[in-house]
A = this chain, B = another copy of it.
């Protein structure tokens, strides 16, 4: 994954994966939590204690694994491993759910011979049902033998974290730090219940850079606000969202700090990894037929631009129109107008790709056939220019389709 983009800061690594950075192994298998034979249990293990950081859902109801992972990372800022299951979110499962999350942690720690407090736990799937722990235990017993740094091992992990996703999501870049090659890789899942603030999203970033956990946490939060928090599929935010980053330090660079000359390059590589994963989630939104990108500029400030971009990308009417390849810019301006931030009603431009439909808030005659062709493509970019200031933001989402309704009308059955 990754479009072969390369900037001065980073280079995309073809077939790179979470095991490309030095020190990381991965595995995935089917233990029986999903009804199909798809993988549903996976792990990433680091050869050394990795500096670690996490970003979590803001939902008031946080699943049991969130608390366990917070505790692990909070204990010393280091992780040796993450253990992840799909098919069951272990959310709203009470004391038993907490006990099960702790047992996942301790059982996997024992299985690979590392301290339990250096293991993160993540779960995704249906809310409110207890984990079938006999199956989880069986899977955990099998995982260590499968751990490897091959592309296949990483692929097994990527598959194991998916739920309604149609495709796996992974990317890897290299960045030069102190003249050494540093890798940054990521894997994620998410398809429904996706919205700013991370939704049913799980994300895992590995890097062999040497970087302290506090610096890593700060970068991770900044980058999340520009990437994972700018995607929406349906406006829902889940109880289980989690993004965990681990840095092995095995690339041998001087530790990246605020003062390090190459921190900006590392940050840019991390942003690219997270943007690719976030866009992949949006494109793979439940029922989606295309990726929609909303670029807002000319807003009073970046926060205003973000609010507008998120409102447009989240509009069911805009999403339905894009699905129908209908150049209905009236719905776009209606969404801009209800974003709750200042706009000048007389100075708005709207374009679909290169096709200008509104200039200075007045309709522009455009080629409907060209618009139809453009909207039928697999990526649609909506441009909004407010002509008020320098604020800019980009948000990603997808169209609203019959399949979204079909998938969500009977998820449990």
Residue from the list B89, B329, B413 in contact with A326, Cβ < 8 A: B413
Q: How large is the interface on A (under 10, 10 to 19, 20 to 34, 35 or more residues)?
A: 35 or more
Cβ proximity bits A318-333 to B, threshold 8 Å, 1 near / 0 not: 0011011010111101
In the complex, A193 has a CB within 8 A of chain B: yes
Bound CA–CA A333/B193 (angstroms): 13
Q: Do B405 and A330 touch (CB < 8 A)? A: no
Closest CB in chain B relative to A349 CB, distance in Å: 12
Report the nearest B residue to A332, measured CB to CB.
B127
Closest CB in chain B relative to A132 CB, distance in Å: 15
Cβ proximity bits A396-413 to B, threshold 8 Å, 1 near / 0 not: 000011101111111111
Interface of A is mostly: loop
Q: Do A92 and B361 touch (CB < 8 A)? A: yes
Q: Do B338 and A412 touch (CB < 8 A)? A: no
From known contacts A235-B235, A402-B406, A406-B402, infer whether A60 and B320 are also in contact, taking CB-CB under 8 Å: no
Closest CB in chain B relative to A278 CB, distance in Å: 18
Report the nearest B residue to A234, measured CB to CB.
B316
In the complex, A181 has a CB within 8 A of chain B: no
Q: Do B60 and A337 touch (CB < 8 A)? A: yes
Those of A77-129 within 8 Å (CB) of chain B: 89, 91-94, 126-129
Bound CA–CA A331/B239 (angstroms): 10
From known contacts A326-B410, A334-B127, infer whether A317 and B363 are also in contact, taking CB-CB under 8 Å: no
Report the nearest B residue to A361, measured CB to CB.
B92
In the complex, A163 has a CB within 8 A of chain B: no
Residues of B within 8 A of A314 (CB): 235
Residues of B within 8 A of A192 (CB): 317
Residues of A within 8 A of B (CB): 58-62, 89, 91-94, 126-129, 192-193, 195, 197, 234-239, 314-317, 320-321, 323-324, 326, 328-331, 333-338, 342-343, 345, 358, 361-363, 400-402, 404-413
